[in-house]
Amino acid sequence: MSLDQNFLWGGATAANQCEGGVSEGGRGPSNIDFAPHGEDRLDVLEGRKKMLSREAGYFYPAVEAIDMYHRYMDDIKLFAEMGFKVYRMSISWTRIFPNGDDETPNEEGLKFYENIFKELKKYGIEPLVTIAHFDVPLHLIKEYGAWRNRKMIDFYVRYAETILRRYKGLVKYWLTVNEINIMLHMPFVGGGIVFEENENQKEVMYQAAHHQLVASALATKKAHEIDPNIQVGCMLAGGNAYPYSCRPEDYFEALTQDREGYFFIDVQARGKYPNYALKKFERENIHVVMEEGDDQILADSVVDFISFSYYASRTVSTHPEEAEQTTGNFFGSIKNPYLPASEWGWQIDPMGLRSALNQMYDRYQKPLFIVENGLGAVDVLDENGQIDDEYRIDYIRQHIKALKDAVEIDGVDLLGYTSWGCIDLVSAGSGQMSKRYGFIYVDRDDQGKGTFERSKKKSFYWYKQVIESNGENLSSDQLDY
């Protein structure tokens, strides 16, 4: 096997990290609009309650982000120059329903995305669209408690059906919920959840997760009814866990950690709750209210493909005090002594991507799609105003080699690869601009200063070469940039 000639190469962004224009075009306020830059960004208790409005002394990067709201035509032209076959993006829920429970959608918001999709089609770029990428309307958080409330299912399904019908024929590939397992790690980001004092937080998170799973299944059903050609995927924050030692307890801890994420995909891909999750609820006194008919909804509407993000693997131990801790994509980890790390402490593990691909394909036997992968790094302009980001090229090169091995040697069915943050954008975890992933540099700093001017990095020309050769030419030796 080799990569199919129709393999979907491209890049990925999210509306709340790149659009800006949060008060324009009839858009309503969303949770990430009120997530500041800095250490308070992801606080889920008292600090988060305070930040349901903007306070003096904080910088809120989503307000302008990289101003793609006004610059998307120029950005898409750059994506086309790289040769993108697909562009993964998300729709801002509050551009379509400003409050979330509105009776009618906002036409200006609908038209905005229609224009984007038509611009992409002009260049032969297929949109891959996430319906909910960490976006929860602020009104639904304040009025209903966000995803903890079952009413969210109806609000989400109405939103999903609206855009599925409006963009029929323009969008073939859809994802229902971005990194759905982040609900268990960053519940405000993943579901707009603000905890009350002394409540059972795990129970709240799993109840919210159940509502998302039912909503996802109903949206999948609607999509297939509206257009049988639509392909709907789920989306996992991926990366396998390694046992720190060969102690049997460490091996089982790694299996348990993997199951925590696979739980969501087991439901979305297989159509039922796995036994290990039901036993966990029983064991930990987690009472998830499931209404009559929910089981049938989940069983009737499984996804067509499985997408995931991959940045790093994790290492776990039943004796964590024995080892140094490090960081990752919303996940803590023990430092793996066999792996290098990025500037943010994320362990760099291309072989882990091949392992993840094999594990998921063995588990589900459905097509896979890598929709996020990349290296966050501080990029420095040289005296000629250029960026030689060979470190980024090397990271992505090694991961492309790994995915090719998974396809060509192991026989994994892989639809495509979209590098995360193909243009520099606001970091979801820290709100930083200095944590850059892009092939395109954006003149914007962590405090919102800069011109928004775009410029091509060395990796821009390298990725163009990769796409032109369908992943065969991964060398950067002869690049002229």
Beta pairing partners, 35: none
Report which secondary-structure segment, H or E, holds 78. Answer: helix 68-82
Orientation angle between helical segments 350-364 and 390-408, nearest 10 degrees: 30
Long-range Cβ contacts of 34-42 (<8 Å, 24+ apart): 34/60, 34/138, 35/60, 35/62, 35/189, 35/431, 36/60, 36/61, 36/431, 37/61, 37/430, 37/431, 37/432, 37/446, 37/447, 38/430, 38/431, 41/429, 41/430, 41/431, 42/186, 42/188, 42/189, 42/429
Q: Is 477 exposed, middle or buried (0-12, 13-18, 19+ CB in 10 A)?
A: exposed
Q: Which of 372, 453, 468, 472 is catalytic?
A: 372
Nearest to 372 by CA among 387, 351, 353: 353
Whether 372 sits among the annotated catalytic residues: the reply is: yes
- How far apart, in Å, are the Cα atoms of 145 and each of 51, 194, 266? 15, 7, 26
Q: CA 202, CA 184: separation in Å to the nearest integer?
A: 8
Catalytic residues: 372
